[in-house]
Chain A
């Protein structure tokens, strides 16, 4: 029980009270220092986001490389793109690939979300956790793994061909590409559907049961209609991700000449001896238009979906449905996805890294070797790429998270007139494919006056900027809910007590946001560790990262060393996440 204390006798208080006047904060040209921070934030973000975009737009309407003098404006690049460069069929391939990927992703993810979240199948916890695997493994590595196992000369393919006399599948086709991409993207769609199912009101199902509906009736009439918003949202998300993806189309499509948007840029920008910058710019602009449009649709859908969710009352624990014997079918289906889709290719890749030859025709255990690793550690360039990846991920994680925290707080907690613009700028890179960020920044550096770009071009800073830009939206997205959870009255209390906005931010919010900041750093580290596509244009021999080195070794046919590098990258990520998890847990207990 709380008791109310006696107040002091009046005589003691009546003495004149000393004055502690409020602090005065200095202003520069009428703007206080918080305003300066707001402006600095928006300028830095605008520079970063516009740096790759403006030169790309400019290049697309210029008749020669933008750093050459005497350029004239022209629309010819766009005409040539569709006539000479055959961009029409590239666009068709891309759309086919994206549609197939989206459909297959949903076919995997939606049933899995329903079965894992809402039915009583055995191993629900394990399957739920297993869906987080893409956090550790990039789609580039998954592609290597799939080729190692299921490619034309893959381990499984050889075995199947030996038994059946023929191979019933061909990985190097559009459906093959789409299937692999779908396996990589399914966990994203799964996440959205699973969240919606967890948050949904269990009493709706209870109501259906009371009127006599069986488990299948409930599934069909109650649960599936409820999933419409997350399904629509995740299809748009998956669609736009498959439009911009490079890894799998590059690995599968190159040998058989299937070209999509990303591989078109790769080929025209990197592989041709004399790159046609006009065509490259025009293609980039068209791809950017498509991705910007898709991201705008996503944002709109997400807003609507949120409105949908907030209507629901408090969380209730849903009763799990019993599917009877069908649940074993469901378990088999999920097991096939996890084992065949992810586990076997990754294990195969790891096996490959420890063997000379990896084929069922010869017991792999007989050709065990550390040679693949040896080769990597013998060449300074390969070791350098591991070091570069670590530096980029570590430095980038800190810089990006700092920028993200400031951007989130300014956009959500200040009275800055352009705070909404800050949010849009921070989320804008979502719509920018990695390759276009690479090309755009490359041009931006070339375009800078007084040769300032050469200070960055080809350095590790260029890579950090490119990868950081790609990672910024996810860092922003991970910090933003943490800021929203902190009551605004805490800010107001600090302001009334005499702290200006900046002091409030430094003394109150920074401390309260530390856990979210650390989590964002871990996330950003992992994202930047897996990233490689901007480095294809931005990197030099000295600044290769693990991803670009793997591609290089792959082209050389050095698959053993590719497997070894992939294994190293997976281990680095896993160890880092493990240590970070332990540290954060320890902090919480203290």
Chain B
């Protein structure tokens, strides 16, 4: 199965640019996820791949077949692209039985009737719904409809499978099961898959690689582990998982390390940096709540750890752990801990490898910032 190559894809609606020159390559057989909040351009990207939207400029190719190329004014309509797609609402045709739904793409491709029968049987068998072949979509549960939609997208062996938030209409428990099942099916078929979702957990659990999108830009394209552990930008760190952000200024930098003075407290910390940092740079320091721990003031500490003095404001017990809200200057920091019962002044210990340094960025929405600001 071929690679999907997207170059400089751009889409304008009216005067708005919803997709800014996005480029990426999806490898043969890869499970590739477009992840981002609503309005980030992920669905538009998928629609451009499917041919349901015509990009303003850029090119898309699947293997040797060019689907869109603005330089040669080429645009292959969706019906001639031979892609499979599952829609958020499943989009099963309500006036046809499951078998008829699956037969439609085969009829269009003039597949002989006998062969159609086998193909439909196999496809429904793959999703475990052969026994319901002659039911109508409205007689099925949501989970079953979703599987039929998948079977319909696979029955004609398309080159690429496009999935537009296919699990978002399922209830939470079923969604987790369906996630595992869908991932297994995909890797068994080895079909190149583009998956659109706003659910980061889904993306992390299923993907070979994730493209994090925001405001029509691709912020980072990387495997799930890298996305979570080494977010390329503060936005990615904020969107994937939870992060604490503290603003600061670089007061000295040499080689792979920098000393940063934190705005909130005036405390200075030493941070390893991957990119160049210069004295005077405004930066944002980020770390994840579960990567840090709390100790009482005056306790013994590892030498290279960063230590911040903070006060515990509230404790929430969420089952698997405790979540502490810490007052640090005028900021609220979030810390996970398995130990309960901590109160008052504590030391927040951040291991050096848990800290990420980004150019100063405003990643917390105004509403959240207001709610989080410590006013007393």
B217 within 8 A of A: no
Cβ of A384 to closest chain B Cβ, rounded Å = 42
A499 within 8 A of B: yes
A5–B127 alpha-carbon span in the complex (Å):
7
Interface size on B, residues (CB 8 A): 52
**Interface bits B52-69 vs A (CB < 8 Å: 1, else 0):** 101000000000000000
B89 within 8 A of A: yes
Q: Assess whether B181 is in contact with A4, with CB atoms less than 8 Å apart.
A: yes
A512 within 8 A of B: yes
Q: Assess whether A496 is in contact with B95, with CB atoms less than 8 Å apart.
A: no
Q: Assess whether B79 is in contact with A493, with CB atoms less than 8 Å apart.
A: no
Q: Assess whether B109 is in contact with A23, with CB atoms less than 8 Å apart.
A: yes
Report which of A17, A20, A23, A511 forms a contact with B80, defined as CB distance below 8 A.
Answer: A23
B268 within 8 A of A: no
Interface segment out of the listed B183-191, B248-256, B259-267: B183-191
A493–B82 alpha-carbon span in the complex (Å):
12
Report the nearest A residue to B149, measured CB to CB.
Answer: A493
Report which of B108, B157, B185 forms a contact with A18, defined as CB distance below 8 A.
Answer: B157
> For residue B109, which residues in chain A have a CB less than 8 angstroms away from its CB?
20-23, 498
Quick one: which of A8-33 are within 8 Å of B by CB? 8, 10, 13-14, 17-25, 32
Cβ of B158 to closest chain A Cβ, rounded Å = 8
A7-B126, A7-B185 are contacts. A492–B80 as well, Cβ < 8 Å?
no
B280 within 8 A of A: no
**Interface bits B162-197 vs A (CB < 8 Å: 1, else 0):** 100000000000100110110011001110000000
A201 within 8 A of B: no
Q: Assess whether B127 is in contact with A508, with CB atoms less than 8 Å apart.
A: no
A492–B87 alpha-carbon span in the complex (Å):
9
B81 within 8 A of A: yes
A5–B126 alpha-carbon span in the complex (Å):
8
A499–B79 alpha-carbon span in the complex (Å):
5
> For residue B50, which residues in chain A have a CB less than 8 angstroms away from its CB?
492, 496
> For residue A5, which residues in chain B have a CB less than 8 angstroms away from its CB?
127-129, 181
Q: Assess whether A22 is in contact with B80, with CB atoms less than 8 Å apart.
A: yes
Report the nearest B residue to A8, measured CB to CB.
Answer: B126
Among B77, B178, B185, max chain A CB count under 10 A is at B77
A4-B177, A512-B94 are contacts. A494–B104 as well, Cβ < 8 Å?
yes
A496–B143 alpha-carbon span in the complex (Å):
22
Cβ of A4 to closest chain B Cβ, rounded Å = 4
Q: Assess whether A493 is in contact with B185, with CB atoms less than 8 Å apart.
A: no
Question: Count the A-B residue pairs with Cβ separation under 8 angstroms: how many?
Answer: 121
> For residue A493, which residues in chain B have a CB less than 8 angstroms away from its CB?
85, 87, 91-93, 152
B345 within 8 A of A: no
A267 within 8 A of B: no
Quick one: which of B71-110 are within 8 Å of A by CB? 77-85, 87-89, 91-95, 104-106, 108-110
> For residue A25, which residues in chain B have a CB less than 8 angstroms away from its CB?
77, 79-80
B144 within 8 A of A: yes
B226 within 8 A of A: no
**Interface bits A464-506 vs B (CB < 8 Å: 1, else 0):** 0000000000000000000000010110111111111001000
> For residue A19, which residues in chain B have a CB less than 8 angstroms away from its CB?
157
A507 within 8 A of B: yes
Q: Assess whether A7 is in contact with B91, with CB atoms less than 8 Å apart.
A: no
A83 within 8 A of B: no
Q: Assess whether B79 is in contact with A22, with CB atoms less than 8 Å apart.
A: yes
Q: Assess whether A2 is in contact with B82, with CB atoms less than 8 Å apart.
A: no
B141 within 8 A of A: yes
A25–B128 alpha-carbon span in the complex (Å):
34
A140–B182 alpha-carbon span in the complex (Å):
66
B51 within 8 A of A: yes
Report which of A6, A492, A512 forms a contact with B78, defined as CB distance below 8 A.
Answer: A492
B156 within 8 A of A: yes
Report the nearest B residue to A13, measured CB to CB.
Answer: B188
Quick one: which of B117-136 are within 8 Å of A by CB? 125-129
Report the nearest A residue to B162, measured CB to CB.
Answer: A496
B374 within 8 A of A: no
A18–B111 alpha-carbon span in the complex (Å):
11
11 further A-B pairs in the complex, CB-CB below 8 A; given A5-B128, A490-B91, A500-B79: A4-B178, A7-B188, A8-B125, A18-B157, A487-B89, A489-B87, A489-B91, A494-B93, A495-B77, A496-B51, A512-B95
A-B contact pairs, 6 of them (CB 8 A): A17-B157, A24-B80, A25-B77, A492-B52, A493-B92, A497-B104
- What 8 A-B pairs come out closest when comparing CB atoms? A5-B128, A22-B82, A493-B91, A2-B143, A489-B91, A497-B105, A495-B78, A498-B108
Q: Which residues of B contact A (CB under 8 A)?
A: 50-52, 54, 77-85, 87-89, 91-95, 104-106, 108-111, 125-129, 141-144, 152-153, 156-157, 162, 174, 177-178, 180-181, 184-185, 188-190
